[in-house]
Copies of this chain bind each other. A is one copy, B any other.
Amino acid sequence: MKIAIAQLNPTIGDLTGNAQQILEAAQQAASQGVRLLLTPELSLCGYPPRDLLMQPAFVESMARILQQLAEELPPELAVLVGTVTPNPLAFQEGGKPLFNSTALLLGGNIQQIFHKRLLPTYDVFDEDRYFEPGFRSSVLELEGTRVGVTICEDLWNDENFWGKRNYAIDPIAELAEVGIDFVVNLSASPYSVGKQKLREAMLQHAIQTYQRPILYANQVGGNDDLIFDGNSVGFDRQGKMVCRAKAFERDLVIAEFAPDKQDFVVEQQAIAPQPENDDAEIWMALVLGVQDYVRKCGFSKVVLGLSGGIDSSLVAAIASAAVGAENVLGILMPSPYSSDHSVNDALELVKNLGIHHQILPIGDLMKTYDQTFADLFAGTGFGLAEENIQSRIRGNLLMAISNKFGHLLLSTGNKSEMAVGYCTLYGDMNGGLAAIADVPKTRVYSICQWLNEKQKAEGRGMNKLSSSFILHLSSSQIIPANVLTKAPSAELKPGQVDQDSLPAYEILDDILCQLITYHKSPAEIVASGHDSATVDRAVKLVTRAEFKRKQSPPGLKITDRAFGTGWRMPIASKWIPTSTT
């Protein structure tokens, strides 16, 4: 019995378009003799639909389009489609009005409904806001084969794997008890660095425990700040991988279940390779995140400011891979404080990537602001206000170009500076999407180095993992060498470098990771080997910068804890712990 995983890239709320994606995958699967097709969690509306679920008209449209889809699908193919369904008992018994469900479409009808049992309410997840948990796990019977149907989080409660229980119930244990031949899981599991290794280890642990094969179907694509990496995967009863869909791309993979062996058999190699290392993986994630945000927001071109620094250089490279160099416009906005190399480095990058560019010097604008403030600022020295004016002039120029020509503006700040507030609100923070807002500065360097090495090694076809991620370059280099070696600087006053105000990025990034991702206290961070004054200062800067992050564009999430929908901090707060309290 052939079972296929359709690793789809839905657009949130595009019910018709998403149904069409499912239909096309089903037709392709049917033509290859597939009996059961899996699609990702909430494949009909895309994940996460968020507060669209509060509109009754949205939920009603889903029901209508699901019914239509059932009628259009090849009738002999069983298709599991992610959708929401009403909770009929919500009104009299209390509880949320919807279930996060999977519908079995077969023979022109909706044959069976399965409900998600474990609802995540941590990090970026708010499922208790919308959904009631399903009260039992159900089995799909197909030609005598019993399939345990689970949805995403349902598999994430293996107390031996995690070292603790996350939820009171464990759906896979219950399914194993009622008797199943294998488990399928419909997921929308967002990317973070190394997530696929974790998923595969977790699935293999579950297989070891319950001796049941698992097929895991994940969503792919970028939806606002979240990137879904795909990497749908199947394992046989021994925990051996039988299929894996591509990372960061739409795909359809087929696995063969042999009822007599009660196991999957490998007929042909259908295991897509993994990115070669973390830098490669993050690169692919960011390219997909930018590509999908631009496309799903209805844009085709992007603009960004090029300072000659490493952050904007990386974002320009990502953008070129995401939407094509011909659709990228880099704006150089030198000031009297800009070094010569900042313009030269940016121009070299423009040439390396083959993107469009414009040079708009901001000296005259700076002078006019000075004149405007001549009386009001008389007697005050050059300071933060004057530095920020420059950044906001550039922000205004970039937005004007965005407004005039319809380019989406990408902001170029990294996670380290977003953390400590080393960025100007309404200035360099401007943009529709913050492409590398969750990438620490040290990682920005390592990705750029990898990019250059890769380009040197492979020439024109930069990343052979996937055709979507190739940069077509005439140059043998991507990021100019000087960009990688010079001291990072905002160049907002003469001779300024980042390390005037901040500790070395190797130190800062380690402190930030402990603080942000692992919730360590200043005392614990100091105990790990950092200087207490440096730690206390970093903690204070992070706390004080909350108001800036509140107003930042969506930033593509690549770590376990990003400053996005999963970061919910008060602004007017007096909690600033120190290493001595």
Binding site for B on A (CB under 8 A): 11-15, 17, 48-52, 54-58, 61, 90-95, 121-122, 126, 128-129, 157, 159, 164-169, 222-224, 292-293, 296-297, 358, 360-362, 364-365, 368-369, 371-373, 376-377, 380, 383-386, 388-389, 392-393, 395-397, 399-401, 403-404, 425-426, 430, 432, 519, 521-524, 547, 550-554, 565, 567-575, 577, 581
Contacts and interface: CB of A to CB of B under 8 A. Distances in A.
A554 to B, nearest CB: 6
Given A121-B129, A129-B122, A92 B165 contact: yes
A388 B403 contact: yes
A423 B371 CA distance: 27
Contact of A399 (B126, B392, B574): B392
B400 A396 contact: no
A364 B366 CA distance: 12
A11 B360 CA distance: 46
Nearest to A386: B400
Contacts of A389: 396, 400
B430 A50 contact: no
A24 B547 CA distance: 31
Nearest to A426: B426
Contact of A371 (B92, B364, B396): B364
B572 A12 contact: yes
Contacts of A577: 55, 57-58, 61
Given A48-B570, A94-B166, A368-B368, A552 B554 contact: no
10 contacts: A14-B575, A51-B569, A91-B165, A93-B165, A360-B376, A364-B368, A383-B404, A389-B400, A392-B399, A392-B400
Contact of A570 (B52, B365, B403): B52
List the 7 shortest-distance A-B pairs measured between CB atoms, nearest first: A13-B575, A57-B521, A14-B574, A296-B572, A94-B165, A385-B403, A385-B404
Contacts of A122: 129
B572 A292 contact: yes
Contact of A554 (B128, B369, B377, B571): B571
A48 to B, nearest CB: 7
Given A94-B168, A519-B55, A550-B553, A401 B426 contact: no
Contact of A373 (B12, B164, B224, B400): B400
A91 B12 CA distance: 35
Q: How many copies make up the complex?
A: 2
B547 A432 contact: yes
A13 B553 contact: no
Nearest to A358: B376
A90 B167 CA distance: 9
Given A13-B575, A388-B403, 19 more contacts: A50-B570, A52-B573, A55-B519, A56-B519, A91-B164, A94-B166, A95-B167, A121-B128, A126-B568, A296-B573, A297-B547, A364-B372, A369-B397, A392-B392, A392-B400, A396-B396, A399-B426, A426-B430, A550-B553
Nearest to A299: B572
Contacts of A52: 569-570, 573, 575
Given A574-B12, A574-B17, A384 B403 contact: yes
A401 B380 CA distance: 12
Given A14-B574, A297-B571, A380-B404, A425 B397 contact: no
A264 B392 CA distance: 61
A554 B572 CA distance: 11
Contacts of A164: 90-92
Contact of A573 (B11, B222, B425, B568): B11
A572 B224 contact: yes
A49 to B, nearest CB: 7
B426 A400 contact: no
A32 B50 CA distance: 51
Contacts of A50: 568-570
Nearest to A123: B129
A138 B374 CA distance: 67
Nearest to A17: B574
A380 to B, nearest CB: 6
A567 B574 CA distance: 25
